[in-house]
Amino acid sequence: MIKNLISVASGLSRTANVIAIGANMIGTLVVLALVAVVNFDVVARGFFNAPFAGAIEVVQFSMVLIVFLQLPDVVRVNRLTRSDGFLAVLGGRHPRLARIIGVFVDSVAALFLGVIAYAIWPEFTDMFETKDYFGIPGVFTAPWWPIKLTIFLSATLCTLLFVIKVILPNEKIVGGNQTRTKGDPT
């Protein structure tokens, strides 16, 4: 039973990692598109006195996309902003206790991101059905639902990644590939 759970978790981990890397790549492309939009707006404003209508809305839209598209990969490689100095020091002297605390932190993170996914789903379905939008009508408008869907999918994937970290606490990411390490507290 335990071996089956670990086998399923390992398979899910590989799939989730590939999806997280893909989402990160898409987020990077959104960053590049944002740079192009801002540069176009600056040039159009400066040389032609005709700013890009909707530049502010595109920047707002893009910022949310960038954060939530890149968040799962940040979780995957353990680069989420946190203070783990305590765990590093504790892991040198008490690796088992550090591992237990790390599993607890990952469990709490999974719970919070699961709550975010649960809370955003009704907003997504509402925005998708009502075709609600943001922006200035006649100038630039965009639908809200892609943002809500991105937040939902990102929070769901992050929840899955944290649950996998709880189930497989000794699995580490090295160079984009997973390897098993024994006795490593973090």
pLDDT single digits (tens) 81-109: 777 788 888 888 999 998 899 899 999 99
186 lies in a domain? no
- Integer Cα distance of 81 and 95 in angstroms: 22
pLDDT at 171: 62
In whole numbers, what is the pLDDT of the chain averaged over residues?
88
pLDDT at 178: 46
Please check the confidence at residue 29 and state whether its pLDDT lies above 90: yes
29 lies in a domain? yes
109 lies in a domain? yes
- Note the pLDDT tens digit of each residue in 112-160: 999 999 999 999 999 999 988 888 888 888 899 999 999 999 999 999 9
9 lies in a domain? yes
The model's confidence at residue 73, banded by pLDDT at 50, 70 and 90, is very high
How many domains are there within the chain? 1
101 lies in a domain? yes
Task: Print burial letters for 124-143: b (CB count within 10 Å at least 16), e (below 16).
Answer: beebeeeeeeebeeeebeeb
Measured at the CA of 124, the angle between CA 119 and CA 129, to 5 degrees, comes to 140
Q: What are the distances in angstroms from CA 182 to CA 21, 81, 168? A: 25, 25, 11
Please check the confidence at residue 26 and state whether its pLDDT lies above 80: yes
Residue with tokens 């607890």: 104
State the residue range of the domain holding 146.
Answer: 2-180
pLDDT at 89: 87
185 lies in a domain? no
